[in-house]
């Protein structure tokens, strides 16, 4: 994760400083020339590259917090594990949790739950005020404790 911090800082989107929104996601994708497609899917989402063009597909049936998490998770695959100009796809939630999946999860969790929230608010406050699930907060706290981000 620490290896990617410089790359992430070049995004100029206040990642891990404030909670990023769907608008931020779409702005990042426009800047990177990633085509975003929302449609009913059998998986939560996936990133893929075909003929040098980058795409992120998101299941249109997802609820707000889950959708945001998947959006930033898939963007992380582009940022951290691409650009790959060969035909490739990464599917969210399919198969074992690999290092790449763990990195994409960490990026998404920090995008949605910034460091300042972890340092200044209790889990109960985040659950009540932001509607965040306890499992997500626990994962985010682990990232904070491990990497101090």
Residue whose tokens read 């795409």? 55
Residue 46: its H or E element = strand 45-50
Q: How far apart are CA 122 and CA 64, in angstroms?
A: 22
- Would you give per-residue pLDDT tens digits along the chain (149 residues)? 667 888 899 999 999 999 999 999 999 999 999 999 999 999 999 999 998 899 999 999 999 999 999 999 999 999 998 755 554 555 545 557 788 999 999 999 999 999 999 999 999 999 999 999 999 999 999 999 999 99
Residue 97 has a pLDDT of 76
Residue 95 has a pLDDT of 58
Residue 39 has a pLDDT of 97
Residue 94 has a pLDDT of 55
DSSP secondary structure, 55-107, as one string: EEEEETT--HHHHHHHHHHHHHHHHHH----SSEEEETT-SS--HHHHHHHHH
DSSP assigned state of 17: T
Residue 6 has a pLDDT of 85
Residue 93 has a pLDDT of 52
Residue 85 has a pLDDT of 53
């Amino acid at each position: 994760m620490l290896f990617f911090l410089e790359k992430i800082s070049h995004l100029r989107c206040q990642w891990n400083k404030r909670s990023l929104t769907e608008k931020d996601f779409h702005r990042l994708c426009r800047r990177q020339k990633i085509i975003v497609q929302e449609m009913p899917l059998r998986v939560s989402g996936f990133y893929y590259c075909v003929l040098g063009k980058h795409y992120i597909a998101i299941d249109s049936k997802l609820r707000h917090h889950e959708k945001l998490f998947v959006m930033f998770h898939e963007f992380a695959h582009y940022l951290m594990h691409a650009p790959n100009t060969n035909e490739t796809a990464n599917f969210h939630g399919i198969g074992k949790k690999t290092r790449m999946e763990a990195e994409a999860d960490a990026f998404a969790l920090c995008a949605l739950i910034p460091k300042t929230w972890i340092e200044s608010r209790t889990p109960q406050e985040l659950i009540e005020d932001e509607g965040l699930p306890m499992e997500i907060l626990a994962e985010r706290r682990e990232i904070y404790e491990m990497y101090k981000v």
